[in-house]
Amino acid sequence: MSGYQQDKSFQGLAAKFARNIYGTPKGRLRLKILRDRMLAELPLDGPPLQVLDAGGGLGQISAWLARKGHDVLLAEPAEEMLAYANKRLKRAGVETLAASIQDLSECLPDHQQTFDLVVCHAVLEWLYQPQETLELLLSRVKPGGYLSLMFFNADALMFTNILRGNWQRALQGEMQGKGKGTRLTPISPLQPDQVLCWLEKAGFEIISKTGVRVFNDYLRLQLPPEAQPERLLQLEKKYCQKEPYWRLGRYLLVHAKKPS
């Protein structure tokens, strides 16, 4: 559990989020890997799905799913983030809701509504009680429905800090952020096996485990001219689900199915 005893708020951070998370090569790489695996592993090319994008942020995934013909609801508690998302989603036909995962039971018109696909990308690591919130989220998946869950990898955070020479911090195990100010270090980075255990205990079938950015974030040296970006993308795609590389992903993407 995080030492910071409330969820991280992104109010006032939308511009920084757009710039630092999505407006960079690593952000674009993240989206490419996400879309690639979602297309390969989820029934996105079939009949329209009812989709909940929980903590959908700036709306990139919601807009993409809507363009593929799905009925998408984006829920986001930060007003500024939601305003950014609404600009993006205005023509996409995506419904938006100012609500956290914890507030869905009160904010949804149908308090018991469930969905064919629940998307939750890069949300749990910002929560004070990620396990409890995940349990609420799983209840929103229809029987036979799917979960697309991505979270910040605690093991990758440890590895990165060791490579950067933050050895005392690593020895103390103090990797998580403090949840204050504008820093974007998650307050609750998660252990991969722990999250997989939570899903399996809830009865979900694990479809796939993908490391998102298994190499990119560890590159520190000046790269040679022949190290072309498209080759790195090829390597990321080739090794993102292979042992031991997937476990080094900055984020881990898990696709799971709820029993019918």
Binding site residue list for S-adenosyl-L-methionine: 30, 55-56, 76, 121
- Which residues are annotated as part of the binding site? 30, 55-56, 76, 121
Residue with tokens 């993102």, as numbered in its chain: 240
Structure-block tokens of residue 33: 């890997």
| Cβ neighbours for 171, distance < 8 A, ≥ 6 positions apart | none
The burial of 70, by beta-carbon neighbours within 10 Å (0-12 exposed, 13-18 middle, 19 or more buried), is given as buried
Residue with tokens 């020479």, as numbered in its chain: 165
Contact indicator for 224, 53 with CB cutoff of 8 Å: no
Give how far Cα 33 sits from Cα of 97, 249, 251, Å: 27, 11, 11
Which of 110, 24, 118 has its CA nearest to residue 72? 118
The rounded distance, in Å, linking the Cα atoms of 212 and 200 is 21
The tokens of 148 are what? 């697309």
3-state secondary structure of 210: strand
Residue showing tokens 């799913």: 65
d(Cα 87, Cα 110) in Å, to the nearest integer? 26
Cα–Cα distance between 232 and 100 in angstroms, integer? 36
